[in-house]
Chains A and B, each alone.
Chain A
Amino acid sequence: MENEEKPVMPQAQAIFTLDDDYSLINAFNDGDQAAFTRLVSRHKEKVRNLIYATLGDARNVDDISQEVFIVVYHKLHTFRFQSRFTTWLYRVTINKCRDHLRKVKIRSVFTYLSSDDAEKVTVDSPDNFDIKVVVRDAVNRLPEKLRSPLVLKDFEGCSYEEIAEVLDTEIGTVKSRIFRAREALKKDLEPLKRELL
């Protein structure tokens, strides 16, 4: 009963991807600019969607994803080929998202907007709502440290080990945070359990 279909990354393809990313990186490090563009094309959508899922907000996706790849461009020579490129890339992405969230948090002290926005999220008419939007809002309300592992697992399909590497933490911590994220969502979505769960 555990077998859900996941289109993302079957094992065989993953190995192929690994090799392919590695050769593109090597080519770029040897001065091939086109290799970098190909690397970007392969991963830009994953990065953009990861940012979207992590921030729950499309407004800053473009800026942040551009910034992620600018960092990749300048730092790719430091990549050690000890993990998948995506793990490294996701790490950069999550860090950029965290930077952004930190800034937003500081700014919200001045604008007082964030709390109002949070209020608006509540669903008033059960006939007229999109469950995915409601769940997305609920995910957005999770603290970042619970949200990121959940998104990396369920949205990006990363393994616990990869997530641990992206977030620079232990596998046990990842396991526990994903569990806590799900428990929090269940609790948050309790009023909608008939429609949702």
Chain B
Amino acid sequence: MKITNRILEKLSAYLDGELTPEEKFETEEMLKSSPELREELNKIKKLKETVGGFKKLPEDLSFETRLMQNIKTGKKYFSKYNIPKPAVVFAAATIIMMVMLKSNSGFFEDWFSQGRSGIEAFYSKNLTSLLMAADLTNEDLFDFAFNKNLPLDATGKKVLSIGTDANGKEFLEVKYASVPGDGLKLNDFVKQFNLNKEQKGKVDSILESYSDRLASVVLVNDKNTIAVNPDLWKYHNDMRQDLISYASTVNKPAVISALGGEAAFADFIREPEPEAPVSAGSRENYYFITPDSIFYSWAKVDQEKIRSDIAKVRSLARGNSVAEKSIKIDLSPVFSVSGESENHRSMRIMVSDNAIKVEIPENISPLESDRDLVSMTMRLDSVFKQLQKQNFNFNVEAPQAPGNELRMTVKSDSRGRTSLNYGYDAPDVIVMKKDVQKKSKGADSISALNRKLRKYQFADSLILPDMKLFADSLSKKFETDFPEFFGPTDIDEFLNKNYSDSSGVNKNQLREEIRREMLQFRKEMNRLREEMKRFREELNPDKKKKLNEPIEI
């Protein structure tokens, strides 16, 4: 017989004399036939006896006297064990602190400065170059120059990013790359300016020359520290300028066109200086981003050692993965409180799900003293945007009025003119056509759209991500960028514009047909979106899941 919990429960109640006569009989029958059950009963019985035989307390003879005393003195629902001890401890601690502060007001200052120097010493030990740890490639360096991201790991999913917020304040960010591979790529750059193999080699050597300098600008250690030298901003700008200057020696017209004219070009151009002596680390101050604090302090960095480390890495064949130091950085629990202290050297730290952002205070901002550099940076940013690929065409199969096919085309030529064509390709077509002079605003919009679209690139076609219905979402989508383009935004307007009352067309019937088509179209777009989503997930299977893990370097 299989002894189930149900049987055991019955056995327990049997022993307590709590079964009905029928159940009791049934249980006794089972006991007769099962030695295992008898053993179980025996176990429970012994337990019951032991618990029943627990030692009793010696009698308390004065209990009643004390009780009546307590009742008389009004002691009611509390006794001494009720006092919450932590509260007592905190109260005591507060009093002690108050006394201490009164008698020694410098106490906290000393305490903090002692703690601070201890922390600084602890986290600034054994710093080595990020380039050593993450094995940065020229593509990574290029990405930094133009997209401001330095990968913190081999896959480039986590990045150290520099940027400027809406108030023009610089910040550092440790974050997950939003779209891996988004932004201007080294290859795009080479293509844009038609660089040949040799010239490409030159670009590589410029990048490599910076890799040496960057080597001591971003440091990491086994204490989960990232130390960033303010020179990072300078190199970011220098790299871009050098690359653009070099490109101009090869293909000046293209660069001038990309920069938006001779005058602008003259501002940017400077002598490339890849041979300049390596002076990185001359400023020894670093922003330290550590697991329990962020501070700005100096660090002693052995330049020679870093250089020789890098040489060693280089001497190993590319492709062989360099034994990486795996450093876990988990900053999330530490910086959950943000705020500015009165100490101007502290930095504002903002933490969100996938990013930690450190705002650098103005008085130590690397760009603070150099207004030219600020404006230069901004202009270079806009150049970077313009350099992105802008030639694309796409056709959208949209709801059709009978005989009419909706077409949409966006073009931009090498002279920086962008155009968008949109309309029904039919005898009585409405073609909405608008040339966009490439001003920075227009370029921004187009490139923003372009970037969005490129995320959805599938084979050779481009599909608009969330086009549902011509009449609503699509028009809204474009309203922001090209408000003038839109004529009809609903079916009736479309019909009235294209079919006069005398045309003999049954508008009701036509309207229904268009509606049906639209519905069908919406379904198909949804299906396509699902497919695209699945496809993207296949491409990046682990893109989503590990957002909250410690950052590994």
Contact = CB atoms under 8 A, between A and B. Distances in A.
B51 A135 contact: yes
A63 B79 contact: yes
Interface in A88-143: 100, 103, 106-107, 110-111, 131-132, 135-136, 139
A106 B56 CA distance: 28
Interface in A166-183: 175-176, 178-179, 182-183
If over half of A's interface residues share one DSSP class (helix, strand or loop), that class is named, otherwise mixed; here it is helix
B102 interface: no
A150 B67 contact: no
Contacts of A37: 64, 68
B79 A66 contact: yes
Interface stretch (B6-14, B225-233, B350-358): B6-14
A66 B66 CA distance: 8
Contacts of A27: none
A69 B67 contact: yes
Nearest to B11: A179
Interface string B59-92: 1100110111011000111111110111001000
Contact of B53 (A60, A63, A132, A189): A132
A12 interface: no
A135 B78 CA distance: 32
B41 A197 contact: no
B545 interface: no
Given A179-B9, A182-B12, A70 B76 contact: yes
Interface in A64-92: 64-67, 69-71, 73-74
A49 B56 contact: yes
A103 B82 contact: yes
A9 interface: no
B79 A150 contact: no
Given A66-B79, A155-B52, A2 B67 contact: no
A15 interface: no
A5 to B, nearest CB: 10
Contacts of A155: 51-52, 54
Given A48-B60, A61-B57, A66-B66, A154 B51 contact: yes
B46 interface: yes
B81 A63 contact: yes
Contacts of B49: 4
B71 A73 contact: yes
Contacts of B76: 70, 74
A154 B75 contact: no
Interface string B1-22: 0000100110011111110000
Interface string A38-61: 001100110011001100001011
A62 B421 CA distance: 90
Interface in A157-196: 157, 159-160, 175-176, 178-179, 182-183, 185-186, 189, 193, 196
B86 A70 contact: no
B544 interface: no
Interface of A: 1-2, 4, 6, 37, 40-41, 44-45, 48-49, 52-53, 58, 60-67, 69-71, 73-74, 100, 103, 106-107, 110-111, 131-132, 135-136, 139, 150-151, 153-155, 157, 159-160, 175-176, 178-179, 182-183, 185-186, 189, 193, 196-197
Given A6-B52, A52-B56, A63-B80, 18 more contacts: A2-B17, A45-B56, A45-B60, A48-B57, A58-B57, A64-B79, A66-B63, A67-B77, A73-B67, A103-B81, A132-B54, A135-B54, A175-B13, A178-B13, A178-B16, A179-B12, A182-B12, A182-B48
Q: List the 4 closest pairs (A to B, CB-CB), nearest first.
A: A154-B51, A179-B9, A179-B12, A63-B79
